[in-house]
Amino acid sequence: MKNKNILLIGSNFARKHHLIQIKKFFDLKNITICGTKPYRGVIEYFKNYNLAISSKKYDYISCATTPKKQNQILNYLIKNKVRPRGIILEKPILLNQNLIKFIKYCKKNNVKFYVNFTFANLTIFQKLSKIIKKRKVVEIKYNLNLEIKKNKNSWKNKVQDGGGFVNYYLIHFVYILVCNFNYLKLLRIKKYNKNQFLLTLKNLKILIYLNINLIKKKDHLIELLMKDNSKIILFNKSNNWFGNFTIYKKSKKFIKEKLLSKQESIGNATYMSYKTLFSKNYNINNFYQHTNFLIKTLNICNKSNIIIKNDNKKM
């Protein structure tokens, strides 16, 4: 990978997290930056993504910008027939015709495609996925406490710009559920007040409850109820979204058995996304699976946003 060329488009999050991981695979001289300001040591820097993309042929393109800007870039790649070996996008992304066209474009031109869902890469959630596949789960309760950004003008708070708590936060957990269950249907959304929601989903006979509180920042709790009445519990009491996760089992006698306790990091999770994209084993089957999970996730998120929007009109 050291001799390959990669273009990183984006500023804040792209510099803080993506660039650090990219440097583990590529020589700095082969990394081109496109963003609001240059990076020390990078030879080529652009402010305009059109100029950056057209300046040379890249093996890989990493795009960690706003959903609207990513949408424009995907459209530009299609129109100008740009065919890198692979492209990675940062979530959230917009589910529209440009995305569908780009997925088809990548398939047709053998371009690897991946979206960085960091939570799905965490060791603790991979452990949870293995448990779900091996055991007979009858019910899942997921309590999420999310801190919404205080800047009301930020795109992260605007559904029309690809933000909002569903697109920016909840999408992580919906994606994890979609990856674990082939069939997943949104049954209903109950709104208690402007800061509390209950989403109910169903997988065949399994009911999944997502309790969302938009006031607190810490405490995430997942409870898996098994057919034998035992429970698998995963929680994180840290202010850090990626830190101090613990998973344990409670039997009928409520004896606690710790299965895994781990300090996770957003850096390692992002690294795993790049490792997947750059892997020689990433083939058409991986492409189909990932894009299938992606579309299902975005469909559920879109339906959730529509229901919540209509509910707001009634209140």
Same domain assignment for residues 304 and 158: yes
Backbone phi and psi for residue 280, each to the nearest 5 degrees, phi listed first: -70, -20
Same domain assignment for residues 98 and 234: no
Same domain assignment for residues 183 and 107: no
Residue 7: both structure tokens together: 């273009």
Residue 99: the pLDDT is 95
User: What's the CATH code of the domain at 45?
Assistant: 3.40.50.720
Same domain assignment for residues 46 and 147: no
Decide: 82 and 102 in contact? Cβ < 8 Å.
Answer: no
Please report whether residue 76 resides in a domain. yes
Residue 109: the pLDDT is 97
Same domain assignment for residues 160 and 307: yes
User: What's the CATH code of the domain at 198?
Assistant: 3.30.360.10
- CA nearest neighbour of 250 among 287, 224, 218: 224
Residue 315: the pLDDT is 37
User: What kind and span of H or E run contains 185?
Assistant: strand 185-193
Q: In the chain, what is the straight-line distance between the N-terminal and C-terminal CA atoms, in Å?
A: 55
Same domain assignment for residues 105 and 32: yes
Q: What distance in Å separates the CA atoms of residue 146 and residue 63, rounded to the nearest whole number?
A: 25
What total of structural domains would you count in the chain? 2
Same domain assignment for residues 143 and 49: no
Q: In the listed set 116, 134, 155, which residue is the last one of a domain according to the structure? A: 116
Please report whether residue 235 resides in a domain. yes
Please report whether residue 189 resides in a domain. yes
Same domain assignment for residues 104 and 155: no
Q: What distance in Å separates the CA atoms of residue 80 and residue 76, rounded to the nearest whole number?
A: 6
Q: Which domain holds residue 167?
A: 119-264+299-314
- Tracing tokens 């995963």 back to the chain, one arrives at 234
Q: In the listed set 61, 96, 116, which residue is the last one of a domain according to the structure? A: 116
Decide: 35 and 14 in contact? Cβ < 8 Å.
Answer: yes
* Residuewise pLDDT in 10s, the chain (315 residues): 678 999 999 998 999 999 999 999 999 899 999 999 888 878 899 999 999 999 999 999 999 999 999 999 999 999 999 999 999 999 999 999 999 999 999 999 999 999 999 999 999 999 999 988 887 899 999 998 887 766 778 888 888 889 988 999 899 999 999 999 978 999 999 999 888 999 999 998 899 999 999 876 667 889 999 988 899 999 887 777 787 899 999 987 667 889 999 888 999 999 999 999 999 999 999 999 999 999 999 999 999 999 988 765 553
Q: What is the pTM of this model?
A: 0.93
Decide: 44 and 100 in contact? Cβ < 8 Å.
Answer: no
